[in-house]
Structure 1
Amino acid sequence: MRLLYLIMIIFFISLNLRPSITSVGPLLDVIQDNLGLSGVTSSLITALPIFCMGLFSLSSIWLQHRLGVERSLLVAMLLILLATFLRMFVHHTFFLLATALCSGVGIGIAGPLIAGFIKKYFPEKPGLTGLYSVSMVIGAAVASSFSVPLFQQMDSWQHALSFWSILAVPAVVLLLPLLQKREVPKEVPKKNLQISAFFIKNKRVHLFTLFFGCMAAIFYAITAWLAPIVQATGLDRSQSGMTLTLFTLVQIPVSFLIPLLVGKSGNRRMWLLLCGLSEFFGIILLMLHFSPWVAAIFLGMGAGGLFPLALLIPIEEAAHAEEATSWSAMMQFGGYLLGSLGPTLIGLSLDLFETSIPTLFLLAMIICTMIGVGLKIGNKTKKLNY
């Protein structure tokens, strides 16, 4: 029973880490028209949360030492709940960007802490990052799929975006029983509890960070701009939104299966390469104006595999929960700061060239860089129980 309870906590927390971002893409043209936003300003609705996800990921280390992983996760969920709910009252660009910033802070704190939570309660099961990533994809898919229907039903994009705050309620409720006591995992020696925040000196973490940054830049650029790019080819708002939904839905089974396949084969390098090539092929299809539906499938397969693999790396190689949180925080700190440039560069490119070809070429170059770094990271040497 306790196992199911802990799994539900991971599921509902992870479920909240994407809806405040992915719910924007399908309604971006409506928001632009209503608030009079340029491409660059519109991209900030997505870029700001990603930037904050990186900037505030380091605070998860401090919060875990001060409050414990459970209380820190509660703080993060309350921030996401508040920021998403307040979108109901948005009528100015500044307020919308403020909610984006606040949600990014909450997501930035929660991301590394989930890695620590998994390492603490499931030290021999790092493959549970599959549940972590699948839950995020489900949250992203639900938000991107139903934002347009909610907008049509409510006749308000503010209410449609605000609706997703409801997902944070069960996460908050489930965390409350864990706050009664704080435990230090028995397997962690006291001397290891003081974790330095400067793991960036580790050359492996340099590679993890660069890989995560390329992966995040591609993922969030596609999340923010796939629907508008596809819509420019002649599809209507509903159809272009469905291509984003397809991109997201494909990730669900892939995010679950890839960590299991990596665990069985032990060949992480091969799966990093295959997922990277899948994204590259999807971008090429968009450049050639081939079916956006087929392109979305290849993009979804690549993104669905790369994200759990990136999340899994620090959990696999860390010695205990505190180290897992610290390594994840450092990787996500630099990675999300780099990743936040993705949507902004896309918006700037579209403003400058008024065509998606230079934009897609830029994404293809980032994917090639990511593939090269992934090959450099290679395989883990320590055998783990999945």
Structure 2
Amino acid sequence: MREIQTKSALTAVIFAILLVALNLRPAISSIGPMLEPIRTDLVLTNGQVSLLTAVPVLCMGLFAPFAIVFNRRFGLKRSIGFLLAVIGVFTLGRGFWPSYFNLLLSSFFIGIAIAIIGPMLSAMIKRDFPTRTASLIGVYSFGMGLGATLAAGLTSVVYAASGWPAGLAVWSGLALAALIVWLRMPEASAKSEQLPDDPLPISGSPWKNVKAWYMLLFFGFQSAFFFSMLTWLAPIAIDKGLSVLSAGAVVTVMTAVQIVCNISIPLLFSRYPNRFLWVLAVLAFGTAGILLLMFAGAWAVWPAAALIGVALGGLFPIALLLPLDATDSADEANSWAAMTQSGGYLISAFMPFIIGVVYDQTGNHDITLWMFLAFVLLMILFAYLLNRKA
């Protein structure tokens, strides 16, 4: 057992994990409420501005395998410390150099940092908390959700006071706080956090298994649903007549409900284990929210955001659990999860951009909302295929 022994060390590591996780979404989720001000000030098309969220998600799919390379070369503690600094520097740079080129550049490097930190945090949790894995993954997920919620809501407040460059750059403070706490972690815990020198053995490639491909596609479309909503819910709300500040608050409602469901819904899985029924249940909420956006007035944006938040909050833990349900060993589960997340993020990276291009052509979000319904139907299809008895 490599469990961390003292309560003080345990608390310090958990707090460090929480702060690091807080930094894995604000640089992306802060863009959504600022899409319209950025597009107007920099004279951009909707397709161009949507790349600011598409690029980091694409990087999350492409660069996750580099986590092993970073650990071998620099070690886990120094790697995460360096990557937190990358997030902080490039986030701060958005305030001092608010050009489209710099926004794209920062999105690229921040996306790489997020892609590498994610697997390294998961590996640390698996190695150092073998009896508390579920709890620590909960802390990790909660941190990501809380970071997204804070950025989605408070960015608009900073924008109202100081403009969108300051609204984006202010989140560098989170990276600085996380870096200080991370580097001050007890040295005993840091020693136990090292990943193995050799890659984990893999028992059979999931790339040859059709169920793994269904999981990849399910993960891809639930991720596409999340990032597309994160990017375009605020512009949809603005189109319905809400102010920029109110639109940011709408996204905050969605992400706040999401993080509550991220924690609460998995607690019910042991009592009601059928994943397909859970998919149907949470997507019923999501479908109701989409229909409100399609056919109701401005008042409906708020309940629609809450309903969609329930769907997003349930879908993510289900997508994470599917590879674990289908495998018999930790090594096998690791390879299946890596495949589903890497491929899934690659799929989802292009969806906000495609929505932006379609919006440029049509001038409204009618097709956007139909695309959201298509995501729902595709998730139901792949969940059904996974639920079938072989």
* C-alpha separation in 2, matches of 1:66 and 1:327: 25
Kindly provide the amino acid, as one letter, of the partner of residue 149 in structure 1: V
Kindly provide the amino acid, as one letter, of the partner of residue 307 in structure 1: F
Tell me which residue corresponds to 2:123.
Answer: 116
Question: Is residue 2:46 matched to residue 1:39?
Answer: yes
Kindly provide the amino acid, as one letter, of the partner of residue 285 in structure 1: L
Structure 1's 165 and 191: CA in aligned 2 closer, same or farther, altered over 3 A?
closer
Tell me which residue corresponds to 1:142.
Answer: 150
User: Offset at 1:285?
Assistant: 1.6
Tell me which residue corresponds to 1:212.
Answer: 219
Matches within 5 A, 1:305-344: 305-314=314-323, 317=327, 319-320=329-330, 326-344=335-353
User: Offset at 1:113?
Assistant: 2.4
* C-alpha separation in 2, matches of 1:250 and 1:215: 16
Kindly provide the amino acid, as one letter, of the partner of residue 309 in structure 2: G
Could you give the per-residue CA deviations for residues 71-95 of structure 1, whole angstroms, max 9, x where no partner exists? Answer: 4433432222222121122232111
Could you give the per-residue CA deviations for residues 331-352 of structure 1, whole angstroms, max 9, x where no partner exists? Answer: 2211111001221121011111
Tell me which residue corresponds to 1:382.
Answer: none
* C-alpha separation in 1, matches of 2:261 and 2:382: 21
Kindly provide the amino acid, as one letter, of the partner of residue 141 in structure 2: S
Structure 1's 258 and 122: CA in aligned 2 closer, same or farther, altered over 3 A?
farther
User: Offset at 1:311?
Assistant: 2.9
Tell me which residue corresponds to 1:18.
Answer: 25
Unaligned runs of 5+ in 2: 1-6
Whether the 8 Å CA contact 2:51–2:353 is kept in 1: the answer is yes
Moved more, 202-211 or 253-262: 202-211
- Counterpart pick for 2:160 among 136, 143, 152: 152
Kindly provide the amino acid, as one letter, of the partner of residue 59 in structure 2: C
Kindly provide the amino acid, as one letter, of the partner of residue 272 in structure 2: S
Q: Aligned-residue CA RMSD in angstroms?
A: 2.7
Moved more, 96-105 or 126-135: 126-135
Kindly provide the amino acid, as one letter, of the partner of residue 335 in structure 1: G
Whether the 8 Å CA contact 1:71–1:179 is kept in 2: the answer is no
Question: Is residue 2:252 matched to residue 1:253?
Answer: no
* C-alpha separation in 1, matches of 2:230 and 2:133: 27
Matches within 5 A, 1:1-386: 1=7, 2-128=9-135, 129-154=137-162, 156-176=163-183, 177=185, 182-183=191-192, 193-195=200-202, 199-290=206-297, 291-314=300-323, 317=327, 319-320=329-330, 326-378=335-387
User: Offset at 1:126?
Assistant: 3.8
Moved more, 344-353 or 115-124: 115-124
Whether the 8 Å CA contact 2:84–2:175 is kept in 1: the answer is yes
Moved more, 283-292 or 224-233: 283-292
* C-alpha separation in 1, matches of 2:49 and 2:204: 33
Moved more, 167-176 or 245-254: 167-176
| Aligned length in residues | 375
* C-alpha separation in 1, matches of 2:332 and 2:91: 31
* C-alpha separation in 1, matches of 2:116 and 2:311: 26
User: Offset at 1:11?
Assistant: 1.2
Whether the 8 Å CA contact 1:53–1:105 is kept in 2: the answer is yes
* C-alpha separation in 2, matches of 1:306 and 1:26: 23
* C-alpha separation in 1, matches of 2:186 and 2:201: 23
3-state DSSP class of the match of 1:265?
Answer: coil
Structure 1's 269 and 218: CA in aligned 2 closer, same or farther, altered over 3 A?
same
Could you give the per-residue CA deviations for residues 48-79 of structure 1, whole angstroms, max 9, x where no partner exists? Answer: 11111111112123334544444443343222
* C-alpha separation in 1, matches of 2:179 and 2:132: 24
Structure 1's 260 and 70: CA in aligned 2 closer, same or farther, altered over 3 A?
farther
3-state DSSP class of the match of 2:270?
Answer: helix
Whether the 8 Å CA contact 1:318–1:327 is kept in 2: the answer is no
Whether the 8 Å CA contact 1:115–1:324 is kept in 2: the answer is no
3-state DSSP class of the match of 1:266?
Answer: coil
User: Offset at 1:202?
Assistant: 4.2
User: Offset at 1:253?
Assistant: 1.2
* C-alpha separation in 2, matches of 1:296 and 1:34: 27
* C-alpha separation in 2, matches of 1:30 and 1:171: 29
Whether the 8 Å CA contact 1:113–1:325 is kept in 2: the answer is no
3-state DSSP class of the match of 1:263?
Answer: coil
User: Offset at 1:33?
Assistant: 1.0
User: What is the TM-score when the length of structure 2 is the normalising length?
Assistant: 0.87
Unaligned runs of 5+ in 1: 380-386
User: What is the TM-score when the length of structure 1 is the normalising length?
Assistant: 0.88
Could you give the per-residue CA deviations for residues 245-289 of structure 1, whole angstroms, max 9, x where no partner exists? Answer: 111111121111122211343333322222222222211221113
Kindly provide the amino acid, as one letter, of the partner of residue 131 in structure 2: E
Could you give the per-residue CA deviations for residues 2-50 of structure 1, whole angstroms, max 9, x where no partner exists? Answer: 3322321221121111100111111111111111110100100111111
